[in-house]
Structure 1
Amino acid sequence: MATTLTEEDILNWKGEDYMNADHLAFFKQRLIDMKQELLNNATATSQHLQEQEATPDPADRATLEEEYALELRTRDRERKLLLKIDSTLKKIEDGSYGYCEDTGEPIGLQRLLARPTASLTIEAQERRERLKRQFAD
């Protein structure tokens, strides 16, 4: 039976059993919580946009349009994050969570705490970014 770990427990982990059942349960719950928060944000945005009132003042209307455009861009980024969360939850189920897609090495608990959807070690991420910059120049 898995015990419920806290963020502090994860940060202070000294055990050899990386990505044990307790770790997986912790990160699965964190991802589920993130997903729920994003879904709540999307619902709030939908309601907010439906409540939009027409305003006769062009300046006010322009400001509202800009606010709505920003809100929609934010929700689009969150939609992409939802897809990443779903694929990360699948990795937990198939046992590949916490390991780098490029090298197979452990990503590390601290990195996963900061970014639970991380799929690369910091080194592999930096290598990809360097390559991307080289080909962009």
Structure 2
Amino acid sequence: MENSDIEYFRNLLRQMLADIQQKGESTLEDMTEDREMHADPADRASAESDRAFILRLRDRDRKLIQKIEQALDRIEDGRFGICEECDEDISIPRLKARPVTTLCIKCKSKQEKQESLQND
């Protein structure tokens, strides 16, 4: 992978990280400001459901942050863009679609096929 590609992905991952952190801060602000009491039980339940959904999204973001940080570590130690399964290069289009990936499309497809067979 060329240095320009590495820089592109480093910047992309850092931007993804910044965006997620911004969403997290925004969620905290919204949750502290949105402490209105709802007299109607249906309104209260709806607000509680919305909060639970947002918290689930932030939990997914928390997991994505870990993957982003791991991808940045792989960039630093020269392993970024190399499949952990077969040691082949991961294609640039795949990395653009999922920059935190650790598997090439062939190995990921194989993994998904094995998982679907186990679930049947």
Fold shared, TM-score > 0.5 on shorter chain:
yes
Structure 1 position 60 matched with structure 2 position 24:
no
Q: Percent identity?
A: 37
Larger relative helix fraction? 2
Q: Give per-residue Cα distances to partners, 1:54-104, cap 9 Å, x unaligned.
A: 211111111111111110010000100000000000000000101111011
Q: How far is 1:107 from its partner? A: 0.7
Runs of 4+ in 1 over 6 A off after TM superposition: none
Paired residue type of 1:88: A
Distance 2:103 2:3 in 1: 21
Q: Secondary structure at the match of 2:55?
A: helix
Q: Distance in 1 between matches of 2:98 and 2:111?
A: 17
Of 119, 131, 134, which residue of structure 1 is paired with 2:102?
119
Partner of 1:48: 30
Provide TM-score, normalisation by structure 2: 0.95
Structure 2: 5+ residue stretches without partners:
none
Structure 2 residue 32 is the aligned partner of structure 1 residue 32: no
Secondary structure of 1:110's partner? helix
RMSD of aligned Cα (Å): 0.8
How many residue pairs get aligned? The number is 119
TM-score normalised by L of structure 1: 0.84
SS of the counterpart of 2:17? Answer: helix
Give, in whole Å, the separation in 2 of the partners of 1:34 and 1:26.
Answer: 12
